[in-house]
Chain A
Amino acid sequence: MAHEVETHHGSHPGSGVYIKIAIILAVLTAAEVAVFYLDITSWLMTMILLALALAKFVLVVGYFMHLKMDDRRFSLLFFFPLIVMVSLAVALMALFHNLTR
């Protein structure tokens, strides 16, 4: 099983790439905090914050977790439950929004 995984394994990026990714992650985090303190509408702030969080998420999953270069089956194993989870969260918020107010 380990060998089978290895044959589907793409080459890992070098340390320089990882450091660049980390710098981008730090900048995105700083941007999130900067946006948080801006005087803008809550909807616009939400969209920007979610976009920044999504960018960080994609960078860590794609490069640090190496999913971008790995077998597509791993992506399926991870993203299918993620889609289920997000759908569940939105559905719960919609369902309980009126029922418990």
Chain B
Amino acid sequence: MWAFLGSDTLFFGTLIATHLVYRGRGGGTQEEIFDILITTVSTFVLLMSSLAMVLALAGFQQGKIGAGRFWLAATALLGSVFIGFQMFEFAEFAIHGLTPRTNLFGSTFFIMTGFHGTHVAIGILWLWSLFFASFKGKIHQGNALEIEIAGLYWHFVDIVWIVIFGVVYLVGAYGVEDRVAEGAHSMARIIGLV
């Protein structure tokens, strides 16, 4: 699973990098339509889902199957709430004229957050499958590793959102990636790369 997460890190890294590169180009940025407070709430929900996930793992590892099931369901439900927030946000963006077809900012933003949302959705399905499998005795204290592996995936989805929220929503609102790019370009010239 760690090898997969390493590859997924590269995947999301390219999406985030592409968005940062094309921000401000091809029709202007749309940061004015970001609702930071709404996104903060959804970020908090996803962080709490990570807490629920580790509590689910602890439950199964300690043989407390009922508690483990409860926290598994809680994780999936919190993830669904996050998806709901994302769908609301995307609908608001569309009303304000930002869609994947509007400009480069829109297409890169929706590709990036869309893939993240898809990862969350897959995680939710995975968690529910584990939840129902536990009722059939297929998930128990002896094979809590199954829960741990699902947990690694879920926490990875969470840290991807930590990066997107921090870099795209917050830092990106002030165009600082231009300063970062200028600094990196200057360094590259100094060491002879360009």
Stretch touching chain A among B2-10, B106-114, B124-132: B2-10
Contact A22 B47 (CB under 8 A): yes
Contact A82 B9 (CB under 8 A): yes
Q: Mark A2-29, 1 if CB is under 8 A from B, else 0.
A: 1001100000101100110110011001
Which residues of B from 136 to 185 have beta carbons under 8 Å from A? 145, 148, 151-152, 155-156, 158-159, 162-163, 165-167, 170-171, 173-182, 184-185
The 8 Å CB contact of B50, one of A53, A64, A80, is: A64
Any B CB within 8 A of the CB of A69: no
> A12-B61, A15-B55, A46-B176 given as contacts; is B36 within 8 A of A33 (CB)?
yes
> A45-B174, A77-B6, A81-B9 given as contacts; is B40 within 8 A of A29 (CB)?
yes
Whole-angstrom CA separation of A88 from B5 in the bound complex: 17
> What is the interface size of chain A, counting residues whose CB is below 8 A from a CB of the partner?
54
Q: Using Cβ atoms and an 8 Å threshold, which residues of chain B touch A91?
A: 184, 188
Which residues of B from 49 to 95 have beta carbons under 8 Å from A? 50-51, 53-55, 57-58, 61
Q: Using Cβ atoms and an 8 Å threshold, which residues of chain B touch A85?
A: 9-10, 12-14, 17
Q: Using Cβ atoms and an 8 Å threshold, which residues of chain B touch A56?
A: 47, 159, 162, 166
Whole-angstrom CA separation of A25 from B53 in the bound complex: 15
Contact A77 B3 (CB under 8 A): yes
Contact A26 B44 (CB under 8 A): yes
Contact B17 A53 (CB under 8 A): no
> A52-B166, A81-B7 given as contacts; is B159 within 8 A of A94 (CB)?
no
The 8 Å CB contact of B159, one of A46, A49, A60, is: A60
Closest beta carbon of chain A to B18's beta carbon, Å: 8
Which residues of B from 96 to 135 have beta carbons under 8 Å from A? none
Q: Using Cβ atoms and an 8 Å threshold, which residues of chain B touch A84?
A: 10, 13
> A12-B61, A45-B174 given as contacts; is B50 within 8 A of A60 (CB)?
yes
Q: Using Cβ atoms and an 8 Å threshold, which residues of chain B touch A22?
A: 47-48, 50-51
Q: Which 3 A-B pairs have the closest CB atoms?
A: A85-B13, A53-B166, A94-B184
Chain B residues at the A interface, C-beta cutoff of 8 Å = 2-3, 5-7, 9-10, 12-14, 16-18, 20-21, 25, 36-37, 40, 43-44, 47-48, 50-51, 53-55, 57-58, 61, 145, 148, 151-152, 155-156, 158-159, 162-163, 165-167, 170-171, 173-182, 184-185, 187-188, 194
Please list 16 pairs of residues, one from A and one from B, whose beta carbons are closer than 8 Å in the complex, sorted by A's number. A21-B51, A22-B47, A22-B48, A26-B47, A29-B43, A29-B47, A32-B170, A33-B170, A42-B174, A46-B171, A57-B162, A64-B50, A82-B6, A91-B184, A95-B185, A95-B194
